[in-house]
Amino acid sequence: MTMIPGNCRTTAMGILPHKDADRALELAFSLDIPFWPQLPRLSYYEDMYVQVSENFPGVRIDEANRRIDFDTERFYAELEEFVVRMEDPELYRLSERYSVVYHRFLERDLAGYPAIRGQMEGPVSFGFSVKDETDRPIIYNDEVRPILLEFMARKVNVMGQELREKNPNAFMFVDEPGLEFIFSSLSGYSDEQCRLDLDQFFSLVEGRRGIHLCGNPDWDFLLRTPMDVLSFNAFGRGDRFVNYVPSLRRFLAAGGTVGWGIVPANYEEFRASDLQDLDDHLERLWDTLEASGLSREEVLPHSLLLPATCALVNPDGGETVEACYALLRELSARVRERYQLGDAT
């Protein structure tokens, strides 16, 4: 299996604030590793939680109220038909109803890029966000959760297969913002259970894949997850992340890649930053690793550069995000030139 192209190339998480699909696609294709954009402001069906819910038993989409409804009785009523169809890839394919943008992405010539990338909402975050008729998150239901894990893994696999047909180096992000909260005493979902569930989930996922999140989880916990890439908010969380050197060293030694989300996409943070500030920030993070015995020669070939976060609520719509991507491309070019990072990885 090919490695994820590193050497501080650029990519980004899937969510964009745009209402114009063509403009969003052009922005996604401006990076080294293009991705298909998720545009929840264009349609509720372009929302990442809605997209992954397609064909899951018990779920209905309330488009008018922008809500995903789950009913336990309906889940059991639909489960038998679901089980009969479980081996059918069409059950897991993202339809045009649930993403026009994804299908327009697939219409492009994707072969000439070092890689392309897809994304899917992860089971932990989906399980926390979607609630049953008693307002209880479905992650707590011991009969629903195993079905959810397998369903999500199969959806990731079908999309990954579709993308690899377009580019053999395609890989997937699993978006898991909910992982930040499992270590709270109020979560009701233990880190031991989450460990079992994530290991089970990733054991079912084919191809190169990883986790993206913008929050601040237990990094030791996350770096032990069987994945190929970890994408995180290095702008806001990097100072803590670089203290986990033993775990990071093991992750890199196993072939892992780190996605450093370094350029802020939020309006106020972006306006307060410039190219030199962000370059200096990256260098300080890498200096910390170097001081602990993890050299740039070990880290940079297995690194990607990304925006720090998604940004849906900027006052200027997509303007700051587009400026963020331009600055990201400039920063990547500067770093790649400084360290003479070629195209081997």
- Three-state DSSP string of 61-118: EECCCCEEEECHHHHHHHHHHHHHCCCCHHHCCCCCCCCHHHHHHHCCCCCCCCCCEE
306 within some domain: no
pLDDT at 329 over 70: yes
Q: What local confidence, expressed as pLDDT, does residue 345 receive?
A: 47
pTM beyond 0.85, yes or no: yes
pLDDT tens track for 243-271 = 999 999 999 999 999 999 999 999 999 99
Confirm if 234 and 262 have CB atoms less than 8 A apart. yes
Region of poorest pLDDT, from 31-45, 213-227, 286-300:
213-227
Residue 116 domain-assigned?
A: yes
Q: In which domain, by residue range, is 22 found?
A: 9-243
68 pairs with which residues across the strands?
61
Q: Are residues 217 and 180 in contact, defined by beta-carbon separation less than 8 angstroms? A: yes
User: Which one, of 95, 230, 210, lies nearest residue 158 by Cα?
Assistant: 95
How far apart (Å, rounded) are the C-alpha atoms in residues 325 and 269? 14
Which residues lie below 8 Å from residue 325, measured CB to CB, with a gap of 6+? 12, 27, 30, 31, 307
Work out the average pLDDT over 164-189: 88
Q: Please check whether residue 2 lies inside any domain of the structure.
A: no
The mean pLDDT of 311-326, rounded to a whole number, is 94
pLDDT at residue 206, as a whole number: 96
- Tell me if 136 is assigned to some domain: yes
Q: Are 327 and 275 in contact (CB under 8 A)?
A: yes
State the CATH number of the domain containing residue 67. 3.20.20.210
Q: Is residue 2 over pLDDT 70?
A: no
Number of structural domains the chain divides into:
1
Q: How confident is the model at residue 172 (pLDDT cuts 50, 70, 90)?
A: very high
Closest listed residue to residue 99, CA positions, set 71, 118, 122: 118
Indicate whether 283 pLDDT > 60: yes
pLDDT value, residue 185: 64
pLDDT at position 27? 97
- Encode pLDDT of 192-228 as tens digits: 999 999 999 999 999 999 999 988 889 999 999 999 9
Residue 180: pLDDT band (50, 70, 90) is confident
Domain annotation covers residue 278: no
The closest of 47, 181, 77, 164 to 116, measured between CA atoms, is 164
